[in-house]
Amino acid sequence: MANHFSQLARKSKSNTFVEKVSKNQSDAKPHKKIYTLGSDVLRQNAKRISKVDNSIRNLAKEMLQSMYAAKGIGLAAPQIGINKDLLVIDVNFEDSSAEPLILINPEITDYGTTLNSYEEGCLSIPGVYLNVIRPSIVKLKFRDEMGRPRKMKADGLLARCIQHEMDHLNGVLFVDRVTSKEDLNKELIKEGFHEKDVIPIK
């Protein structure tokens, strides 16, 4: 019986996101093309993932590679043209020992009452950095890369990054939330983007 439990324990330990993705992708091109503002694919609602299998884990791996290569801290599947409820996040990308977050079918269950304004950027709108107001704390539920249900509470940069990436799952970009139209237009023009591609949040 003891041997049986030890076998189960070893199996459980190995049943994780086995292949660790190197954060040093400086010499690599993004594994997947990251679509930019103006692409229709960024405005579609993502679909829930019904089964978490190796294809989803491989997709998460490719997303992490793409995110690290582009020197980002978050990436949503729609940004690489894949219409699925999947996010990867690593706000500690400079720490090689810190594990990234893989969020499948994430749902925010509660928001904190405090709002903060903070400068955001996006791999889909490179070069544009603008202040966005968001709740400073969120609670959420999701499935991890093995399909296990999880819950977590996040604050600070992580909470902001989660909200930013979850917006992508609903076809929303951070520029849609910018309140200063003057600053927005100035930044967009500077980087060669167009105001017509912004859909302001009402």
Question: Which is catalytic among the residues 165, 182, 191, 195?
Answer: 165
The verdict on whether 165 is a catalytic residue reads yes
176: its two tokens: 């849609």
Tell me which residue has tokens 């200063």.
180
140's enclosing H/E stretch is strand 137-143
User: Which residue type sits at 197?
Assistant: D
Question: Kind of pairing, strands 86-89 and 101-111?
Answer: antiparallel
* Integer Cα distance of 178 and 158 in angstroms: 19
- Give the residue numbers annotated as catalytic, written as ranges: 165
